[in-house]
Amino acid sequence: MSGLKRVSEKALREEIVEAALSMSRSGLTVGRSGNVSCRFKDGMLITPSGKRYEETKPDDIVFVAGDGSVPKGQGKPSTEWHFHLAAYHARPDRHAVVHTHSTHATVLACAHKPIPAFHYMVAVAGGKDIPCVPYATFGTEELAAHVAAGLKDRDACLMANHGQIAIGPSLAHALELAIEVEALAEQYYKVLCTGAGHILSDAEMLQVAEKFKSYGKNTEAGPTDK
């Protein structure tokens, strides 16, 4: 992982708590829904199961090894740890995952509607659309497989009858993308209400996606573990 900023486990735990709080305060999720993780060692650090973000401390963050095992002496990881781990296996170039039940993204997910190229900003997720992967029961390997497929060449996807997931080189990037996906979902929902949407061509979206690859390159890459 050369070229990436290395930070301590303590700092990563603090960053996960702050990202989870930001996710909640921004309205991307309510109550105990949603979860946040960051790549660490051969696995990841992830928010615990069933704990309010306002009550979550850095020591509550759970380490899940690359094989899915959880060392003794920790609490339970988020029930969605399967698809977080699957995302890291599918995308070794990404180091953070943010999952939310944000309102408009969830509305579209419940309608099984991907977000097409109605606006050029859709390319911020890495391609011509933001796909919607098939439904599977939460916390299952089946859902993890769907998410891994959806994120193979995208940085975000919707999950049918569930919500959205965004990945990035850092937690800041993943959280920012989750916010953008929700904004796009709200815009697309309103476009659908007009019945007059127009979709940009694949060629145009490819061009925009290429331009986005160099956009913001002055920002620092995401952290990794020591």
Burial of 166 (0-12, 13-18, 19+ CB in 10 A): buried
Pairing outcome for strands 43-46 and 35-40: antiparallel
Burial of 69 (0-12, 13-18, 19+ CB in 10 A): exposed
Q: Which residues pair with 163 in a beta bridge?
A: 159
Encoded tokens for 115: 């977000």
* Residues annotated as catalytic (active site), given as ranges: 80
Name, in order, each residue with C-beta under 8 angstroms of 206's C-beta and a sequence gap of 6 or more: 128
CB distance 1 to 74 below 8 Å: no
Q: Which residues pair with 37 in a beta bridge?
A: 46, 97
Burial of 9 (0-12, 13-18, 19+ CB in 10 A): middle
Q: Which residues pair with 35 in a beta bridge?
A: 99
Phi, psi of 24 (to 5 degrees): -70, -45
At residue 222, the 3 state secondary structure works out as coil
